[in-house]
């Protein structure tokens, strides 16, 4: 059985991967970049 720290660590890792993926998509999508900077 996984300990609480293992569960938290796995969750944080998953969230980190999701953030990295969304950041990559944001850098490749001009409309998203504009939206992030509040231009649109």
- Provide mean pLDDT across the span 15-32: 67
**Residue 13 pLDDT > 70:** yes
* Residue with more model confidence, 9 or 25: 9
- Provide mean pLDDT across the span 2-22: 77
pTM of the predicted protein model: 0.38
Question: How many Å apart are CA 21 and CA 34, to the nearest integer?
Answer: 18
- Provide mean pLDDT across the span 25-40: 66
Q: Are 20 and 14 in contact (CB under 8 A)?
A: no
Question: How many Å apart are CA 10 and CA 18, to the nearest integer?
Answer: 12
């Amino acid at each position: 059985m996984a300990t609480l720290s293992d569960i938290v660590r796995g969750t944080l890792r998953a969230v980190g991967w999701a953030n990295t993926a969304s950041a990559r998509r944001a850098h490749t999508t001009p409309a998203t970049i504009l939206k992030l900077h509040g231009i649109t």
